[in-house]
Amino acid sequence: MIQDGQLLNYIGGAWRRSHASDYLDVRNPATAETIVRVPLTPRDEVGAAVQTAQAAFADWRRTPPTERIQYLFKLKRLLDEHFDEIARLTTQECGKTLAESKGELQRGIENVEVATGIPSLMMGYNVEDIARGIDEHMLRQPVGVVAAITPFNFPGMIPLWFLPYAIACGNCFILKPSEKVPVTMSRVFDLIDELGLPPGVVNLVNGAKETVDALLDHPTVRAISFVGSSPVAKYVYSRATANGKRAQCSGGAKNPVVVLPDADMEMATRIIADSSFGCAGQRCLATSVTITVSEAGSAFKEHIANAAATRKVGYGLDNVDPRSEIAGIEIFGPVLSLMHVQTIDEAIDVVNAASYGNMACLFTSSGAAARKFRYEVQAGNIGINIGVAAPMAFFPFSGWKDSFFGDMHAQGRDAVEFYTEKKVVVERWPREWSRKF
Ligand code: NAD
């Protein structure tokens, strides 16, 4: 919520004005206009948010999962009803095209949908008679108060990688969105306010480094989810784990695409151009290096130069014919490097030499080459004849090497693992006790 040109925090089920002494301007990157001012929430206010979340946890964890997910069904309906409005806010504060904003919000909503399956996804397992009359069970229990810290390039989608799973599993959740793009989530939290959740189950604190550090240091926060640049991901992971917390920290990327001579060059160029230049080149799965193999080099160079020359830069909400190509591919300043090698083995060596391991793609018509590539490449997300291999919400959003610090990723079953603790119960009921009833 915005009051007097300033964003409020959402703590304990109510919008609250921060007593922060520092504020930042949030600007529309296309017009440089100031949209709103965002408070840099100080440590003591973060502490208050953690306390209210902890107070809510005792009852929320006892709320049956079938009841908890009813709030997610309502959230999905509200997000669908306000879809266009939220996407416009994302374009205004982030600068991407409206089509891109709608696309990311849709991917976020898909996570709300998957999290409604928590009653099944949270199931444990058991074995009867591990010894005579003794049974063993594995149960999943929520972790407690958990927090997520998110980046500027997907203001709608990335917070929804975490929030739905966290609360459906029975945790209480605190979001610290990017201080560069806090408006989208502020509006989403207006909708969350309409859900009637118990106060404290979800909270929103705005801010930057000091606010993040307060979450990383607070002993009651049990788990930290982070998405952003690699240096900050590494820092957050180190500080959170040093403080005894569970952490999943996704970092940056330098995603390579390999083009073999047998690739469909027209399709490969079109897809790589969209992957490199679309969304202002600001997707963590954007292609930033293309490695051509042997004769693919000259043909690809010519095609991609033509594709790059047709790109235009502008404001994502401007007067563009919605049927024109530019309506879907508007850009701000992307760069694609070209490299050339002679064999697929050399290409894979180049890919694997990189410190990042977020995504790698291959364009080919050879099944054998595709299998070799997916088998040998050291990256968490692989695309075969696909430019942006973004996993669906029911798969983990993977990432290796300097692109991810931790064990369990965002989305799908990994999210359930991350937001629950396993408890193993070994149980015996002697027969003579049973006879008393
Ligand atoms: P960033 O690292 O600057 O900021 C991310 C978050 O960390 C923000 O909420 C910010 O307030 C906080 N932060 C920044 N500096 C901090 C510090 N020193 N101490 C504590 N907290 C700090 O990232 P960004 O510029 O907002 O986002 C772009 C980056 O995110 C790119 O590198 C992109 O590749 C990456 N990204 C990765 C994925 C993925 O899934 N791997 C997805 C989206 C974006």
Q: What is the pLDDT of residue 236?
A: 98
Q: State in Å: Cα 152 to ligand 1 middle.
A: 7
User: Containing H/E element for 139?
Assistant: strand 134-142
Candidate from 227, 249, 279, 414 with most ligand 1 atoms within 8 A of CB, to mutate: 227
Among protein residues, the one with the nearest Cα to ligand 1's atom 17 is 209
Q: What is the pLDDT of residue 437?
A: 52
Q: pLDDT (tens digit, 9 = 90+) per residue, 159-179? A: 999 999 999 999 999 999 999
Q: Which residue has the tokens 């160079």?
A: 301
Candidate from 178, 282, 381 with most ligand 1 atoms within 8 A of CB, to mutate: 178
Q: State in Å: Cα 191 to ligand 1 middle.
A: 25
Q: What is the pLDDT of residue 313?
A: 63
What are the φ/ψ torsions at residue 16 (nearest 5 degrees)?
-130, 140
Q: State in Å: Cα 127 to ligand 1 middle.
A: 43
Among protein residues, the one with the nearest Cα to ligand 1's atom 9 is 178
Q: Mark the ranges of the chain whose per-residue pLDDT is less than 70.
A: 312-314, 316-318, 320-334, 434-437
d(CA 316, CA 152): 16
Interacting residues of 192 by C-beta distance below 8 A, sequence separation 6+: 10, 75, 202
Q: At what angle do helices 296-309 and 265-277 cross, to 10 degrees?
A: 50
Q: What is the pLDDT of residue 323?
A: 41
Among protein residues, the one with the nearest Cα to ligand 1's atom 21 is 209
Strand 172-176: give its sheet, edge to edge: 14-16, 9-11, 202-204, 172-176, 145-149, 221-227, 246-250, 404-405
Tokens of 202: 């979800």
CB contact at 8 A, 176 and 208: no
For 43-67, the DSSP string reads HHHHHHHHHHHHHHHHHHTTS-HHH
pTM: 0.91
284 catalytic? Reply is: yes
Candidate from 7, 212, 255 with most ligand 1 atoms within 8 A of CB, to mutate: 212
* Nearest atom in ligand 1 to 216's CA: 20
Catalytic residue selected from 172, 279, 284, 361: 284
For 283-343, the DSSP string reads -TT-EEEEEEETTHHHHHHHHHHHHHHT--B--TTSS--TTSTHHHH-BS----EEEEESS
Q: State in Å: Cα 227 to ligand 1 middle.
A: 6
Q: What is the pLDDT of residue 325?
A: 44
Q: pLDDT (tens digit, 9 = 90+) per residue, 215-258? A: 999 999 999 999 999 999 999 999 999 999 999 999 998 899 99
- Protein residues whose CB sits closer than 6 Å to any atom of ligand 1: 149-154, 176, 178-179, 208-209, 212, 227-229, 232, 235, 250-253, 284, 358, 397, 399, 403
Among protein residues, the one with the nearest Cα to ligand 1's atom 30 is 228
